[in-house]
Structure 1
Amino acid sequence: MEIDIRKQNIGLNFTENGEAEIRLWAPLAAQVSILIGDREISLALFEEGYGYWYLQTNQIKALDRYAFKINLITGGEMLHRADPASLFLEEGPHGRSTAFDVNTFNWTDADWKGKDLNDLIIYELHTGTFTPDGDFAAIATKLDYLVELGITAVEIMPVAQFPGNRNWGYDGVFPFAVQNTYGGPLALQHLVNACHAKGLAVILDVVYNHLGPEGNYFSDFGDYFTDKYHTPWGKAINFDDANCDAVRDFFIENALMWLRDFHIDALRLDAVHAIKDLSPVHILAEIKTHTEKLSQFTGRTYQLIVELDLNDDRYIRHQSKYGYGMDAQWVDEFHHALRVCTGQAKEGYYSDFNGVADLAKSCQDAYVYTGQYSAHRQKKFGVPVKDDSGAKFVVFSQNHDQVGNRMLGERSSTLVSFEMLKVMAAAVFCSPFLPLIFMGEEWAETNPFQFFVSHSDEELVEAVRKGRKAEFAAFHNNGDTPDPQDESTFERSKLDWKKTGEPKHKTMLSYYKTLIALRKQHPVLANLDRKNVYAEAFSKKNCMILKRWKDKEEIIAMFNFSIQKQTLSIDPAFQQASVLLDSALLKWGGSNAESNSIPADGQITLFPESTLILFKTHV
């Protein structure tokens, strides 16, 4: 099948004259019919070749329920299945599809062209726990808040249809369908349109490495999965085994749909290291090629940002240099080093990191491991990153994984002091990379973010409970794991917006606004040229100095992660420097009435768990 980037070519789609065009890949079928609504209408699809079945009809309308009736080549019972490329499943993953016409929405963002990577200040949120109502419409009521905070891009955790109404989203089983309990596809279009009206880009988290365990009927249609590889979450998706062409097209079409039909600006591709593909052209590279074609067609900028547990620059290297062409990647190693700086126990994957020494390396090199031996992995790991801009890397002090994959889902606000939270935030926003914050972090939310599901299969629920305990066994040895299936686990994980008006949390929120404004407006901090960065660690003092510059302007950011005062030496020429931020001031909940003057000898004493950011223009 030839992919036409201008429209969706699989599933049920409506033409300009209102007819339904239906295309299904089902090579395991001897016959396929579509069953329409409650009218008992059954229409046969015709074979197109290569396992595809096709029909064009005027007998199905938008919002009609429909399902496919499949007679398998092998015989046996007739199967009734929802459309694998359905956009709406009002009845959930075990029910019928709902026909949805993406082309009827009245978009008002014609002038929106997207955001440049350099300009992204990313706010990661989970639709179900971001607001009390837990849906797309409720997110829209918070957009003014996000704009005032200084956010430029909202990153939404996966919304592909999952079973029940409570899930992180990584158990999605219909990649094209927008979660019904969040409001479905129309509500998502409204949200994206509203974001663009406020100047906010939208990043959508998508999962192309596996499908969830409940409601996954894809094997009834064709070879969507392969036994060649395995993932931690089940069978690997078939990107390079026999009959993989249609599977590759399925996920390429999915990426294009989010960008074209829902006006999403960027995709965050989950755990791409678990995507196994030995094809001559990797599936990520092929998605990138089609995305670029779509960008030329629409005139809009799109980005592909990957979560990657490999220090392998092939993923972000341009295709002309034999890379996959991804626009940016998450850098967990920055987070791990930062956590160790703050006193996080060196357990599990944290055991590989040495605090400020590795944080300084990450500030300069992005990756901490660039070929040296990793004790945790028991092998040499990583390659150096050469000339890539800092905009190629996304860093954070928290995210959904690093919070939620703790046994109790504790946020940093319950693990470290108020003062240390400010130091961690400054490290992120002073880095030469793209900053991401996790919802509620900006006001030091104390409610946890725990792992939750709402499966209907009791055996699966029990398997999830056991798997959850095993997943972080290296981190925790005592205590009871919150029950992922219990609704109270989900309710505990919701943000408490009332805290934004309480003095302590209000102070942190103001501090974040100041940091974000500095990152956006100061020419040195906004410049992501990694050549203009120098970081120095003082391991015995648990301190770091980060220097960044542009032309004649220079910033020195000093971080004291220790619980004692520490003295650091800087260039005496900075005696006349301006203080851009001092986290120890009373206004930020510290104990210092005003910032200390800079001695002539350049010896600066930092308060415990504090950050001092200085700026100077050199003559």
Structure 2
Amino acid sequence: MLFEVWAPHAGRVTLHVDGRERPMARAAGRPGWWRAEEPAADGARYGFGLDGGAPLPDPRSRRQPDGPDGLSAVVVPERFGWRREWTGRPLPGAVLYELHIGTFTPEGTFDAAAARLPHLANLGVTHVELMPVCPFPGRHGWGYDGVAPWAVHEPYGGPEGLVRFVDAAHGLGLGVVLDVVHNHLGPSGNHLPAFGPYFTDTHHTPWGPAVNLDAPGSDEVRAYLIGSALAWLRDYRLDGLRLDAVHALCDTRAEHFLAELSDAVDRLAAHTGRPLFLIAESDRNDPATTTPREAGGLGLHAQWNDDFHHALHTALTGESAGYYADFAADPAGALAATLTGGFFHAGGYSSFRGRSHGRPLDPRTTPAYRLLGYAQTHDQVGNRARGDRLTALCPPGRLACAAALVLCAPFTPMLFMGEEWGATTPWQYFTDHTDPHLAEAVREGRRREFAAHGWAAGEVPDPQDPATRERSCLDWSEPDRPPHTELLHWYRRLIALRRAEPALTDPRWEYRALTARPDGVVHFRRGRCHVAVNLGGRPAELRLGPEAGGAEVVAAWRPVAPPGPSGVLLLPAESAAVLRLPSPGGVAGPDAPGGRWKVA
């Protein structure tokens, strides 16, 4: 078996495999690379000793049976036991479901999560988006402090466990997306600096020195990360990747790392014949992120849209602290702006940032599916002091309204695990750091962070307390009892309606009408579907126009009578309804103007 490693600063490198040692030779024509041939079976333990030092895990390790500090184990992807063929599932028309393997079930394993996949298939979602599964110290954590970007966390089930999960998902028609972190590595168990210039002091990030994307040695670092991304898509048959915080990728080279990655993924998609896609988390509000390469952009296929989340959250809860302040000044206008243009911050002033921010999207060239819309995510729930979901902040009717706006808007919808039944379990920040000094630093850091926002130390859950993770596990008895069952049926109905009505997956930003009112009423028409939402505490009268007189109510959170001949709809408080019009044409009524949108 061929073993290779990039260690440009080492004077000698020794391969350690199953207790044997063998000197490695410099690879001809590949500066900084070392290689050696040595027999090794699947599962053999190995590592690399640099200049006589103790063996370290392989930077390209596929498996770390004893955690990030232990020896690596040989994995042969060609031996994975796939049982099903899979031709892929594209992003346009998708409904994503974000989940965390460690808390989706109390067991916290791939196999336990796979046993729950029929629930997701019955819900109607098309793709499961896994939070990071790379190894990190300890057993439990969010996964964003991973240190081995090619490997799979052993407590979850390791590489074979991920294969079984993906195979089970594909067998149910579900695509699988994986969240990967290229902008930093965790603070503990990271051995990359011993091998080469994987990090640089040229730039600094919230996590310290930046990943080296543009300093000397960056060619190999870029290839290392791109190789990892391609391995997930190729060897584990994943359908896409979510790229964490791409705004923190510091790169001054002529071709940005993301553009290079996008090109590589597109080539792999052409080679495999499967649709593959990249979804960015970006704080820039820059249309170039998802603009195709041939049009001069970075070529990523979609990005999360936090602006829509913030506008919706503010309208639902009335919260106005921190970054919600920009949206709370005019909740109706903010929600309407994001529904019609994607970004709220599109070049205007952001009071939270103290400067102008973003650029406008061109709805003529950016299909709406390139933005993901959501009411909850792991970040927006877990980064709250108590990890409280919308369930703790809103009555069921408002949760139903949020679902209607997410699932009937032109974005690609994404749900956060448990959202579909209004889970009452929080989702809190938890860690399992084995380094006691790091554990205490994280604990105190969380307390200081929230103390600045008025939270007492005793109100902030201890990330290291096992109970914090246990509280965050979904309670799978909830979907079978009220009031959760009703909300689950509502989500199923809306997703089924989205699948049945072509207008609801139309990638164009076109509305026959869209109105957002200060009393909490939002309604819009897409094709034959008229979506009406009342976030307010009183019944609302909506004048939809004469053509709505023959409309059929195809989904309603509370009983709603069809509009009469005059086209007036009476919508109960904190409720939502979807109507199917007799034809897509007609003249808009006074409360449903043509054109883009209005705030009444």
| TM-score with structure 1 setting the length | 0.91
1:266 matched to 2:240? The reply is: yes
Q: Which of 10, 14, 21 is equivalent to 1:33?
A: 14
Residue in structure 2 matched with residue 500 of structure 1 by the alignment:
479
1:129 and 1:350 mapped to 2: Cα distance? Answer: 28
Residue in structure 2 matched with residue 182 of structure 1 by the alignment:
156
Q: Which of 537, 548, 571 is equivalent to 1:606?
A: 571
2:36 and 2:21 mapped to 1: Cα distance? Answer: 14
1:159 and 1:59 mapped to 2: Cα distance? Answer: 29
Residue in structure 2 matched with residue 154 of structure 1 by the alignment:
128
State the SS of the aligned residue for 1:447: coil
Q: CA deviation at 1:584?
A: 1.7
1:533 and 1:377 mapped to 2: Cα distance? Answer: 35
Q: CA deviation at 1:534?
A: 4.1
Alpha-carbon contact 1:361-1:535 (below 8 Å) kept: no
Deviates more, 1:48-57 or 1:416-425: 48-57
Q: Which of 331, 338, 343 is equivalent to 1:367?
A: 343
What RMSD over aligned residues (CA atoms) do the two structures have, in Å?
A: 1.6
Cα deviation code 1:167-193 (max 9, x no counterpart):
101000010110000010111112111
Write the letter of the residue equivalent to 1:315: T
Alpha-carbon contact 1:26-1:51 (below 8 Å) kept: no
Q: What are the residue-to-residue correspondences of 1:445-456 with 2, within 5 Å?
A: 445-456=423-434
State the SS of the aligned residue for 2:169: helix
Q: Which of 198, 206, 216 is equivalent to 2:172?
A: 198
Change (3 A) 1:393 1:510: same
Residue in structure 2 matched with residue 487 of structure 1 by the alignment:
466
Cα deviation code 1:456-511 (max 9, x no counterpart):
11221122123223445565534521010111101110000011111211111111
Cα deviation code 1:304-341 (max 9, x no counterpart):
01111111011100111111100000001111000111
Write the letter of the residue equivalent to 1:348: G
1:392 and 1:335 mapped to 2: Cα distance? Answer: 15
Residue in structure 2 matched with residue 105 of structure 1 by the alignment:
80
Residue in structure 2 matched with residue 231 of structure 1 by the alignment:
205
Q: What are the residue-to-residue correspondences of 1:513-592 with 2, within 5 Å?
A: 513-532=492-511, 534-539=513-518, 541-549=519-527, 554-585=528-559
Alpha-carbon contact 2:5-2:35 (below 8 Å) kept: no
Residue in structure 2 matched with residue 417 of structure 1 by the alignment:
395
Change (3 A) 1:519 1:363: same
Q: CA deviation at 1:88?
A: 0.2
Q: Which of 441, 444, 459 is equivalent to 2:437?
A: 459
1:95 and 1:344 mapped to 2: Cα distance? Answer: 49
Write the letter of the residue equivalent to 2:217: N
Q: Which of 28, 39, 47 is equivalent to 1:59?
A: 39
Residue in structure 2 matched with residue 10 of structure 1 by the alignment:
none
2:37 and 2:318 mapped to 1: Cα distance? Answer: 61
Q: CA deviation at 1:47?
A: 4.1
State the SS of the aligned residue for 1:80: coil
Write the letter of the residue equivalent to 2:507: L
Change (3 A) 1:282 1:224: same
Residue in structure 1 matched with residue 5 of structure 2 by the alignment:
24
Residue in structure 2 matched with residue 391 of structure 1 by the alignment:
369
Alpha-carbon contact 2:13-2:34 (below 8 Å) kept: no
1:213 and 1:80 mapped to 2: Cα distance? Answer: 20
1:161 and 1:456 mapped to 2: Cα distance? Answer: 13
Alpha-carbon contact 1:369-1:382 (below 8 Å) kept: yes
Residue in structure 1 matched with residue 588 of structure 2 by the alignment:
none
Cα deviation code 1:69-120 (max 9, x no counterpart):
001xxxxx7242110110000010111111111111132333x221121231
Residue in structure 2 matched with residue 82 of structure 1 by the alignment:
57
Alpha-carbon contact 1:89-1:179 (below 8 Å) kept: yes
Q: Which runs of 5+ in 2 are unaligned?
A: 586-600
2:454 and 2:524 mapped to 1: Cα distance? Answer: 33
Q: Which of 334, 347, 355 is equivalent to 1:379?
A: 355
Cα deviation code 1:348-372 (max 9, x no counterpart):
1111103221111111101111111
Q: CA deviation at 1:257?
A: 0.2
Q: Which runs of 5+ in 1 are unaligned?
A: 1-19, 72-76, 586-594
Alpha-carbon contact 2:315-2:332 (below 8 Å) kept: yes
What fraction of aligned residue pairs are identical, expressed as a percent?
Answer: 40
1:24 and 1:470 mapped to 2: Cα distance? Answer: 41
1:472 and 1:153 mapped to 2: Cα distance? Answer: 34
2:575 and 2:378 mapped to 1: Cα distance? Answer: 26
Alpha-carbon contact 1:558-1:612 (below 8 Å) kept: yes
State the SS of the aligned residue for 1:369: coil
State the SS of the aligned residue for 1:118: coil
Write the letter of the residue equivalent to 2:43: L
1:361 and 1:352 mapped to 2: Cα distance? Answer: 13
Alpha-carbon contact 1:348-1:475 (below 8 Å) kept: no
1:400 and 1:137 mapped to 2: Cα distance? Answer: 21
1:356 matched to 2:332? The reply is: yes
Write the letter of the residue equivalent to 1:36: V
Write the letter of the residue equivalent to 1:198: L
2:451 and 2:96 mapped to 1: Cα distance? Answer: 31
Write the letter of the residue equivalent to 1:360: A
Change (3 A) 1:418 1:204: same
Cα deviation code 1:97-145 (max 9, x no counterpart):
11111111132333x2211212311111000100121111111111211
State the SS of the aligned residue for 2:503: coil
Q: Which of 285, 290, 304 is equivalent to 1:330?
A: 304
1:471 and 1:275 mapped to 2: Cα distance? Answer: 24
State the SS of the aligned residue for 1:159: coil
Write the letter of the residue equivalent to 1:260: R
Alpha-carbon contact 1:405-1:472 (below 8 Å) kept: no
Deviates more, 1:421-430 or 1:464-473: 464-473
Alpha-carbon contact 1:432-1:533 (below 8 Å) kept: no
1:94 matched to 2:69? The reply is: yes
Alpha-carbon contact 1:542-1:561 (below 8 Å) kept: yes
Deviates more, 1:528-537 or 1:389-398: 528-537
Alpha-carbon contact 2:511-2:524 (below 8 Å) kept: no
Alpha-carbon contact 2:552-2:579 (below 8 Å) kept: yes
Residue in structure 1 matched with residue 591 of structure 2 by the alignment:
none
Change (3 A) 1:123 1:375: same
Structure with the largest fraction of strand:
1
Q: Which of 215, 224, 230 is equivalent to 1:250?
A: 224
Change (3 A) 1:542 1:102: same
Write the letter of the residue equivalent to 2:414: L
Cα deviation code 1:376-425 (max 9, x no counterpart):
11111111111211110111111101110010001111111011110111
Deviates more, 1:211-220 or 1:520-529: 520-529
Alpha-carbon contact 1:167-1:454 (below 8 Å) kept: yes
1:330 and 1:507 mapped to 2: Cα distance? Answer: 28
Alpha-carbon contact 2:369-2:507 (below 8 Å) kept: yes
